[in-house]
Structure 1
């Protein structure tokens, strides 16, 4: 009988995390697109043979949460042993068939065999610049079904026993406006899963398959125990929240905290829409998993066992459980809306555990056209950074990505100007007043892109553009997210959700992301902190007097 001590278990688990990190580095170093190698709009992870996440993975947390669901769907489409063999690589991007997000986010997954037995999977996901569809960049706010958004890949075998399937590669190349970037990013992803598979086989050989598999199972059981312990320490109860959205609709959530289970009920929400903001059920589950983790054990381990005590209820045909042929190109805004809705409901009950609202939008900014210097087509895909909410004892963070986006980065100005042929004329903190409180919400940003070539275009997907981030314990609301286009003749147009906006040389795209909500009454803010805010440009003298009662 195989036995496992905690030291060996932790060594194996740390090794799995190191392998996920190495896969991430390999993919970043080889990728063609700045949205991958600079912004890090990607994720890597390892699952067990059944598709359960075996380590925390690396990259965007919400992306890592996709990988287990994609692998499970591959297993459904390709039964063992005849359809899954050593050396295979599968590709998937269809949110209606296991890939969770939208068609631009492409999953690659590779089975790992040891002694003829499937022991694990390596997988990654990354945003591709263009996968076909009706508009460049494949994201259109006017799309009414997923067939308008690009090429659908439902758990397709890309490589068979180590050999690329030429016909699949031909289909991929024929369905993108940027084939060179597609191939560069594709093979970077393939290299990453292959590298991970090699490392996993080495780890399995070192400890033997029996001990390797037992260690993964034991660590998932530990993940469940950590979550159950955290749940048991919370007061049981049922909480409800209704929140008005930018478009006038109302989102609802009911949360039931029990001793051994947390139930998140999203069934009483609007029907799926004709636009591209629909969310798959798996997407709603990812949002719920992130909120569950924030409430229970945010610093603890994360794996398939972590979420066993979580149950998510959705209604098929609703906005958060959309059915074919629903468009999902801008799914990310409702993914973050669900996450924020759950956190807002919980924060009202546990203000000591959770912060006020943050800018809570991906603020996707897509600018495309022809590079004025090289003549090559380009597509800038830039999620934007913004302000986080304040919490007991500290101000919110300035200019970081939303919690769902994790440790990603904005594209450096130098790279943006060189690769995309734009001028970045300003990158600064947004000084619009808001987010006041005993502890202040973090600042968003101002970024100005100057267009250099006629015939360019912009697409954007922003929420919290009307309804600002919420404050806590009498803290003030934050500020909205929006983007303006300032024409060369001075005309100014404001947008939040739009696609295919024509741009010409001399036009200015002006991004403004919001401040997070404040925590506690502004009257209790330390005067020294207010003076520092004025010095740093977060607050002007008039606001210091009118809001904080401080005369400078």
Structure 2
């Protein structure tokens, strides 16, 4: 046992280094700018029974969903039947996936003929078919309109690609070159993870399994200790989406946290029924929000699934957080972000006497595609951040991915290189954060001019109607806005989710929401030196 204790920290650091290098390798090798520049991908290592052992410090929106994805792969391909060089591929939300552009690659890590671990990589691909370029149609009403749905399949055997699988994939993509290139980037990442984890296992010897179990137990213990520090109670929070892309009827996100001792129940009962539009989030997607929240309780704990052990979650079947097949799900990002923010806000009611203001909770996703003047087709996907809520500690941060977000902006130079676009504006949207003793973080403004040809815009925003709430008398954040300024002077105002056509000379303007403020503007704040002794 003492040997295990001595090895725990070196193994923890080694595993974290492995998954972070997997992430870096995948981003460096990726063809698509959304992965290469935006970081819309994630990597992790699992034990052969499906327990998350380590995850990269990357995109929580994707990291948590790898847990049910691995379970889906193992259900069809048991670990004991895997072989060296095998790789498995999937994206089906009802088999553990998120939405269809997020392809997941899993490679077994072998010691001889025994599977000792699993390396996984998920990446948002540019296009996997469906009714719109980019495979994120904001007006989809059925999963089959969103692209090619792939249950767990064997993609490689002994390292060799199954040509039948790859032919099927490329035939259904508008950007087959990017798809193959990005899949190869994922293969490179999981191969690195397999080599380095196998080498770590060899160095550690027979103690490897016990040390991994101890790291999971340490994360659980630290999380339970954090829960014990908060008085028992129940706290609720509600928020709403600005419709589902088909109607403007608000979509309710409700959560109740019930904490007793060192255990916590997360209950989304009261959330709206599943919608006709694509804002539904499958349980595998919701795992990302739940894991993010549980990790936030003990951010210094080992970066594994041990933090989930004290939690029980309720996702009512047939609701927006657990839809039935064939629900459309491509716009689930806004649902996850508001669900995550709801958990953080509800928890702050019990854990703090002065709760946090709400984050804007917006990650605007644009899929822009078209045909240039020379007839060449182009396609790119872009993610735009918003503002964070303020707290008793200070102002909210402007232009940042919050909650399950951690994506990076795409540099203007990259956008203008890959598409016939000129980015005319890229700035902090001053005045969009709530006003208070501590101001909410401001959103972001982007403006794109289409230089030639024509094309389509798939716009997925949020907070066009609802606002990020202030706390303790602080003001709410400003709502989002989007519009197309036509070359002939007309202005088309876009709702929270929209699909429109545009032509050369048209200008797309995006303004994301601000975070809520903390404290009334005239509230007198005391610095620590002013506090009474």
**Residue deviations 1:376-430, cap 9 Å, x none?**
3222211102111111121111111123112x31011111101112000011111
**Alignment-derived partner of residue 331 in structure 1:** 332
Q: Name the SS for the 1:181 alignment partner.
A: helix
Shift of 1:267: 2.4
The two structures, once aligned, show a CA RMSD in angstroms of: 1.8
**Alignment-derived partner of residue 401 in structure 1:** 401
Once residues 433 and 76 of structure 1 are traced to their aligned partners in structure 2, the CA distance between those partners, rounded to angstroms, is: 47
Shift of 1:290: 1.7
Shift of 1:488: 1.1
**Residue deviations 1:462-481, cap 9 Å, x none?**
11111110111111101112
**Alignment-derived partner of residue 215 in structure 2:** 219
How many aligned residue pairs are there?
A: 520
Once residues 343 and 426 of structure 2 are traced to their aligned partners in structure 1, the CA distance between those partners, rounded to angstroms, is: 32
**Alignment-derived partner of residue 550 in structure 1:** none
**Alignment-derived partner of residue 317 in structure 2:** 316
Decide which moves more: 383-392 or 351-360: 351-360
Whether 1:425 and 2:424 are equivalent positions in the alignment is yes
**Alignment-derived partner of residue 50 in structure 2:** 51
Change (3 A) 1:499 1:515: closer
Whether 1:114 and 2:115 are equivalent positions in the alignment is no
Shift of 1:164: 1.2
Whether 1:140 and 2:137 are equivalent positions in the alignment is yes
**TM-score, normalised via structure 1 length:** 0.91
Q: Is contact 1:45–1:58 with CA below 8 Å preserved after alignment?
A: no
Q: Is contact 2:90–2:105 with CA below 8 Å preserved after alignment?
A: yes
Change (3 A) 1:450 1:352: farther
Change (3 A) 1:267 1:433: closer
Q: Is contact 1:58–1:64 with CA below 8 Å preserved after alignment?
A: no
Identify unmatched segments of 5+ residues in structure 2.
Answer: 244-249, 526-533
Q: Is contact 2:355–2:471 with CA below 8 Å preserved after alignment?
A: no
Alignment of 1:399-548 (within 5 A): 399-406=399-406, 408-524=407-523
Candidates 71, 86, 89, aligned match of 2:87: 89
Once residues 97 and 200 of structure 1 are traced to their aligned partners in structure 2, the CA distance between those partners, rounded to angstroms, is: 26
**Alignment-derived partner of residue 265 in structure 1:** 267
Shift of 1:433: 4.8
Q: Is contact 1:363–1:481 with CA below 8 Å preserved after alignment?
A: no
Candidates 169, 173, 194, aligned match of 1:197: 194
Decide which moves more: 337-346 or 144-153: 337-346
Q: Is contact 1:426–1:447 with CA below 8 Å preserved after alignment?
A: yes
**TM-score, normalised via structure 2 length:** 0.94
Once residues 433 and 497 of structure 1 are traced to their aligned partners in structure 2, the CA distance between those partners, rounded to angstroms, is: 17
**Alignment-derived partner of residue 389 in structure 2:** 389
Whether 1:282 and 2:284 are equivalent positions in the alignment is yes
Once residues 36 and 123 of structure 2 are traced to their aligned partners in structure 1, the CA distance between those partners, rounded to angstroms, is: 10
Shift of 1:291: 2.1
**Alignment-derived partner of residue 19 in structure 2:** 20
**Residue deviations 1:203-251, cap 9 Å, x none?**
111111x211111110000000000000011110012233344233433
Change (3 A) 1:293 1:204: closer
Alignment of 1:61-80 (within 5 A): 61-80=60-79
Shift of 1:49: 1.1
**Alignment-derived partner of residue 203 in structure 2:** 206
